[in-house]
Amino acid sequence: MPVLKDAMPLMKEPHPLPQAPLPWILPSLFAAFNVVLLVVFSGLFFAFPCRWLAQNGEWAFPLVTGLLCVLTFFSLVSLNFSDPGILHQGSNEQGPMMVHVVWVNQRAFRLQWCQKCCFHRPPRTYHCPWCNICVEDFDHHCKWVNNCIGHRNFRFFMLLVLSLCLYSGALLVTCLIFLVRTTHLPFSMDKAMAILVSVPAAGFLVPLFLLLLIQAMSVSAAQRSCEGKCRYLQGYNPFDHGCASNWYLTICAPLGPKYMAEAVWLQRVAGSDWVPIQNLHFPVCPSVLSPPAPTSESPQTREGSLR
């Protein structure tokens, strides 16, 4: 049943994210610049040092780096255009006066009210100020791809970080092997391009490896980056199902239908007379979902039964 408005929250809320001072066009251009940068450095690598190795019979290097390049570019583009788990806006008829409580692994969570999206947010759902949307199982907003990282695209984010680590390491190793095998040759354009590619590859390799390690530890412990210093009052994480189960739920579990697709389908079917369905995707109390059915007996009958 609903509880009072002044009830204390059962989980500490993380600090709200700062408002974005830049318009949306600048983050979009930055994300597009990252894609162009990846294409340019990959083109220089395959056109100069990798070409020299292939001409001298070293076909293993272009094959391995080529597969990693395709995997990295695919994961980057997929993450740019992926749905992080957007929850569509609610109805103005809803309000923050009533507070709902749900239970997760024998722990209670008060559904926080989102003033911009007009609904009670499920646990681990937060409003991104940069995208102005509520994202299910929100982790963070990645400025490199200008997209939120949440329930539906976290696996693409992990794939991108892993592929970037492997690809950067392969570029660095291949360029170093090329420079070692061409020490007896005079300085040429191939050597210049190999140095130009190896320097950023070495610079990005260490931060990417640390990011991959941190994300792997977070997945194993069922933690999220946006929670930061948030601590659960009961002493343990109720979302933790064990290391193996956490990895399965994050990487391999079915995602289910998209929330936005279902919202659009409802609007198309109902047309202009559509009335928003409250609490369509959020767990609420059974009394809210199943109100008592009105009886059809007359007042005289009801009065007689009371007697």
Token pair, residue 69, equals: 């390049």
The radius of gyration computed from the CA coordinates of the chain, to the nearest angstrom, equals 27
148 labelled catalytic: no
d(CA 30, CA 141): 14
Residue labelled with tokens 């957007």: 86
CB 12 within 8 A of CB 46: no
Catalytic residue among 142, 148, 175, 226: 142
DSSP per-residue string spanning 202-249: HHHHHHHHHHHHHHHHHHHTT--GGGTT--BTTSS-TT---HHHHHII
Instruction: Answer yes or no: are the C-beta atoms of 128 and 17 closer than 8 Å.
Output: yes
Please name which of 225, 219, 224 lies closest in space to residue 247, comparing C-alpha atoms. 219
Q: Indicate the helix (H) or strand (E) that contains 81.
A: none
Give the residue numbers annotated as catalytic, written as ranges: 142
